[in-house]
Amino acid sequence: MARWGMVIDLDKCVGCQTCSLACKAENNVPYGSPEEHIRRTAPFWHKVFAVSHGEYPAVSLDFIPMPCMHCDNPPCVTVCPAKATYKREDGVVIQNFRRCIGCKYCIVACPYGVRNFNYKEPEEQEYFRPDPPPNRDDRGVWPYPRRVHGVVEKCTFCFHRIDQALRDGKKVGDDGVVPACAEACPAQTIYFGDLDDPESQVSQLLASRQWVRLREAMGTSPKVYYLLK
Amino acid sequence: MSASANFVTIEGRSRGYRALILVLAVLTLAGFISFIVSYVAGHRLFGSSNVIPWGMPIVMAIYLIGLSAGLHVLAFLIYIAKQDRYREVIKAAVFLAIVLIFGAMVFIALDLGRPEKFWRLFMLFYLNNMSSMFAINAIFYTSYFISAVIYFIALMANMKRFSMVMGMVAFGWAMLTHGGTGAIFGFIEARETWFSSLSPFEFIFAALSSSLALLIVLLVFIYRYTGRNLKQELVSSLGSLVKGLLVGLLLLMVVGELTHIYAPARDAILYMLAGPYSWMFWTLQIGMGAVVPLVILYHPRAKQSTRWVVVASVLVVVGVFIKRFYLVIPGLAYPLHLYPGKMEGVWGAMGSFPLEPAEIILSVGIAALLALVYALGFKYLELLPAKESAEAKTEEKAPQAT
């Protein structure tokens, strides 16, 4: 069984947020107004935030694209009372909306703040998307055509794409089928693949460059790696 | 033992009692409407956000669990410490404990994003993940509720030996219940302000002091408005219990906060202790909620005066509420530090928590429901000891719970 992971090259990221938008369009993540964004009730499965170092004129800026870390030891899975969030065999941490009771304990327990509560009933047809789009056959069924409010949502590593590709016998990762954020990135910042396969692009990158994982001290062992500038 | 056979109901026909029932019923209805509206529209009507995901219902729930659990210390005092003077108030106290734990469970259910799925919390070992403190606490809450109800029935039926056994069981479960509630917070490593193995004990001490304080306030008011004579000695002995527990609570808080501050990752705790909302901590929680009551309860004359003990008790009840509020809401506000450097924009900003009307009305409504049930309890259940001298029951009024 593969162990899916992501490698993000911070040297290439320009902070254009294409990945965030591609994620919203792919997963039909509800739209949030600027007010909701400031109040932090707008859901973002994938976000890019800026980190500054120093004061003008000696200042630098890092852009950190941030999906769910899909930890090997996910605290959210430990605390979920309803078995609504669980780790699949391939390491992807999934949220099951039908089981989720909306207690928000996982949001509290997540050290990365990647979990989002759905605060309102999403409007129909928020994004322009020809439905079904002409060339969607290779990407599997649309996973979230409709939403309910009151449950917790998060990044899924686009598991529907992975599963469909495996069913069709296609290659997943590297130059094959990848999550929407990796596919959309104009700078090819995001790499996706099997961390257990020494031949995969992600393994090669991790072997050749310096990398960090976020909040390593939490012991969560994330599967999203960042290559340093 | 002389009093235990002579428990009576109140008549409940006075103008004041009816007005109280009416007001509480209207507030309950408002709370129910507020719940329906927020259920249909979603939690966007609440003040919570992805930074501070828990709001007033959780504050109220853990506060009420504490108030409920602490009341069972009376059973411990009666049966183990052989303090018979508390027997005359035990029925009113146990009924209050049942009403409060019921209210806490209602608050937890209503805080869920999908309250219609609350039953999933009780699918123990089958649909539940038993490593979750929430699922473990579901065992504690239900068994505590059931044991308290059985204890209450045993008390009402005057089964002496069985009520003693059930009293001890209820006391044990009460401590487990509130310790478990503390563990919900204390076991979360991701939140520096919460992560502490002292949390369950701190919760238990806060529970015991606040619930005994609430009991003092309620008893003094009920006894006064029903024309009964509450022994001054009972009030001051309860007051000295509150005093001892408050000292214990302060000690645990000092040790806990010092541990947090000693570690280099102290930004979030400094925000709580010296940030913009730290006045709430220092003046309301420490000053008003602990230091002032301690001064009153240690004062040689004030501790003998019912009036001053009631003042101290009200301060403790409010202070522990502020403590819960401060733990849940400003305790989550400090942003998670995801990457070295200064996080720009909303992702690095402090969480905000507007007090939204839907949430406030909901909380007040459920509290009014509990007060309503408690007030009706005095009319239909034999909770109060019979009057010693005057048999006339003309003037009565029921209490305002929480």
Provide the domain count of chain A: 1
Contacts of A153 in chain B (CB under 8 A): none
- pLDDT of residue B82 exceeding 90: no
Residues of chain B in contact with residue A47, where contact means CB-CB under 8 angstroms, are 347
Q: What is the pLDDT of residues A130-160, one digit of tens each?
A: 444 445 555 555 566 667 889 999 999 999 8
Domain boundaries, chain B: 7-385
Say which of A36, A112, A152 has its CB closest to residue B336: A112
Domain that holds residue A133: 4-227
Q: What is the mean pLDDT of chain B?
A: 89
Distance CA B280, CA B292 (A): 15
pLDDT higher than threshold 50 for residue B394: no
Select the residue from A10, A29, A104 to test the B interface by mutation, using most B Cβ atoms within 10 A. Answer: A104
At residue B386, the pLDDT reads: 79
- CATH code, A150: 3.30.70.20
A 7-26 residues with CB < 8 A to B: none
Average pLDDT for residues B85-91, to the nearest whole number? 86
Residue B1: per-residue pLDDT: 39
Give contacts of A49 with chain B, Cβ < 8 Å.
338-339, 343-345, 347-348
Please answer yes or no on whether A41 and B332 come within 8 Å at the CB atom: no
Residue of B120, B135, B344 lying closest to A52 (CB–CB): B344
Q: Lowest-confidence range among B235-249, B256-270, B378-392?
A: B378-392
pLDDT for res A145? 65
pLDDT of residue A116: 93
Would you state the pLDDT for residue A129? Answer: 52
- Signed CA dihedral, B347, B193, B69, B232: sign only: negative
pLDDT value at residue A130: 47
Nearest chain B residue to A116 by CA distance is: B50
| Confidence band, pLDDT 50/70/90 cuts, at residue B4 | very low
Question: A189, A225 in Cβ contact below 8 A?
Answer: no
**Prediction ipTM score:** 0.89
Region B335-350 average pLDDT: 91
CATH code linked to domain B7-385: 1.20.1630.10
Q: What is the mean pLDDT of residues B248-269?
A: 92
pLDDT in tens, B178-193: 999 999 999 999 999 9
pLDDT in tens, A162-184: 988 898 899 998 888 999 999 99
Please determine, for residue B66, whether its predicted confidence score (pLDDT) is greater than 70: yes
CB within 8 Å of A84: residues ≥ 6 apart:
A95, A96, A97, A99, A100, A101, A151, A152
Contacts of B233 (CB under 8 A, 6+ apart): B85
Mean pLDDT throughout B227-253?
A: 91
H/E run at residue A160: helix A159-167
Least CB–CB distance from B347: residue in A43, A49, A79: A49
- Orientation of helix B232-262 relative to helix B267-274, angle to 10°: 140
Q: State pLDDT tens for residues B314-331.
A: 999 999 999 999 999 999
Predicted model pTM: 0.90
Q: Residue B2 pLDDT > 50, yes or no?
A: no
Is A147 an interface residue toward B (CB < 8 Å)? no
In chain B, which residues have their Cβ closer than 8 Å to the Cβ of A38? Answer: 346
Instruction: Judge whether residue B402 has pLDDT over 50.
Output: no
Phi, psi of A211 (to 5 degrees): -135, 160
Percent of chain B with pLDDT over 90: 67
Separation of alpha carbons A13 and B275, rounded Å: 35
